[in-house]
A = this chain, B = another copy of it.
Amino acid sequence: VTAAHSMQAKMLRRLLEVGSTENIRKSLEKIHPSDIVIIFSELQASEQERLLQILFSIKKAGKVLREMPEYLLPEVFPDIDDKKLATMLGNLQPDDAHFLLENMEEERQHAILELIPAPTRQYLEQLLLYPEDSAGSIMNVHAPKITEGMTAQGTIEHLRANREERGIFYIYVVDEDQRLSGILNLRDLLFAKSETPVEELMNREALTVGPEEDKEKVAQFFAKYNLLSMPVVDESRKLLGVITVDDVIDIVKEEATEDIYYMAGLSEPDRAFSSLGESVRRRLPWMALNLGTALLGALVIGYFQESIVKAVALAVFLPVVAQLSGNVGIQTLTVITRSIALGELEFASAAQAILKEMGTGLMLGLIMGLAVGGVGYLWIGNMYLGIILSCALVMAMVLGGTLGAVIPLAMRQLHIDPAMGSGVVVVAITDVFSFLTFLGLGTVLLDQLM
């Protein structure tokens, strides 16, 4: 697979250097839009512009742009004039056109929408009204549909006359008010007798979602029930559009990226090949937040500096205590947020989860406390240091386990994404608490440490 594709890519690149436009055009027609994107991203700016022009001339530009990673779009749009973009968007499926529009600045959006003719423009304006990340914002409004009262043969002829470009495997049956009455599987249609009414073939109990539903929730439905597509209906069951499984894969990937990024203190778009300026701008706020929490820890240490001068072993073990208790917090937090994201927390109660994570923190705290206390005793040769280390670790690790469970569960209750920033909060609190307990105990037993 891959070998054949990289051959195509090499050929196209050579053609862009030396070949005629006609040959490039022919070559482009055979290459999948996703592969054109990869070739595109490897070209010089001037070559990119030429490639884009040829893509417009063979009407493949829209499909190629649709496959681009979102962070590339703002670099490409300025090179294309409004009229070209409007024509292109008018010819795309509305959900694809909507995706591209969403990646433009609002001013440009309006300018281009004005150039798109009436029925399509209204569709697009409607789609832009749905909240970001809602089912409505990702649905395909051109669902293949028929009205009740048709026969199997009639349906086949209707479909043949209205050939859709996309792979349609389900046909939506609506009543005269466009309300969804059932879903017809293409396979059942194929096997049916010509005169069978569609009402006898269709499935009346299909799952539906409202246009306001969160797309992450929609993705969970697809995964849970192994769906290939799902109709979007309003309160009166009027069919608004369809969500298909290929969009769902993108959603699952996006949501996973978002969760991973939140954990590491990152905001989209920040990719391997985002510009340096973009990456710095995206990472700086998280870094500043981190500085704030780190300085809180420094304040605590500053408060105990006299103890440290008298028993410098306290300074030696400070980072060990902080790192281990922060680690328990992050482990717990990750398990809980992931369980929430995968919809697995339906499997039992939050209280049970919190109790278990407290217990895990206690067990790990006892084991690591004994280990670190032992190391401290043997290294520094002071039994009290060992005891202080053990006690501080047990307490800090129980807190880490508790916070790692309580914070994301509380955020979910408040309808905030549980992954968002909770890592920074958990680490900050466990750090400060571990410094306080360790240096506090050290100060109380200072005479035994000197």
Contacts and interface: CB of A to CB of B under 8 A. Distances in A.
B186 A287 contact: no
Interface residues of A, number: 115
Contacts of A323: 290, 293-294, 297
Given A291-B320, A320-B291, A320-B295, A360 B283 contact: yes
A312 interface: yes
Prevailing SS type, chain A contact patch = helix
Nearest to A280: B363
Contact of A263 (B252, B264, B294): B264
A186 B185 CA distance: 11
Interface in A250-306: 250, 252-253, 256-257, 259-261, 263-266, 270-273, 276, 279-280, 283-284, 286-288, 290-291, 293-295, 297-298, 301-302, 305
Contact of A335 (B279, B346, B360): B279
Contacts of A352: 273
B359 A276 contact: yes
Contacts of A11: none
Contacts of A322: 319
Nearest to A163: B191
Contacts of A353: 272-273
A73 interface: no
Interface in A18-77: 32, 34, 38, 41-42, 67, 69
B316 A272 contact: no
A333 to B, nearest CB: 8
A81 interface: no
A69 B344 contact: yes
Contacts of A257: 338, 342
A303 to B, nearest CB: 9
B261 A334 contact: yes
A294 B273 contact: no
A367 B156 CA distance: 66
A246 interface: yes
Contacts of A330: 264-265
A95 interface: no
A246 B221 CA distance: 12
9 contacts: A167-B228, A169-B187, A227-B246, A245-B245, A265-B330, A279-B356, A283-B328, A291-B320, A298-B317
The 4 closest A-B pairs by CB, nearest first: A256-B256, A264-B334, A272-B339, A226-B246
Interface of A: 1, 32, 34, 38, 41-42, 67, 69, 156, 159-160, 163, 167-169, 185-187, 189-191, 207-209, 219, 221-228, 245-246, 248-250, 252-253, 256-257, 259-261, 263-266, 270-273, 276, 279-280, 283-284, 286-288, 290-291, 293-295, 297-298, 301-302, 305, 308-309, 312-313, 315-320, 322-324, 327-328, 330-331, 333-336, 338-339, 342, 344-348, 352-353, 356-357, 359-360, 363-364, 367-368, 371-372, 375, 379, 431
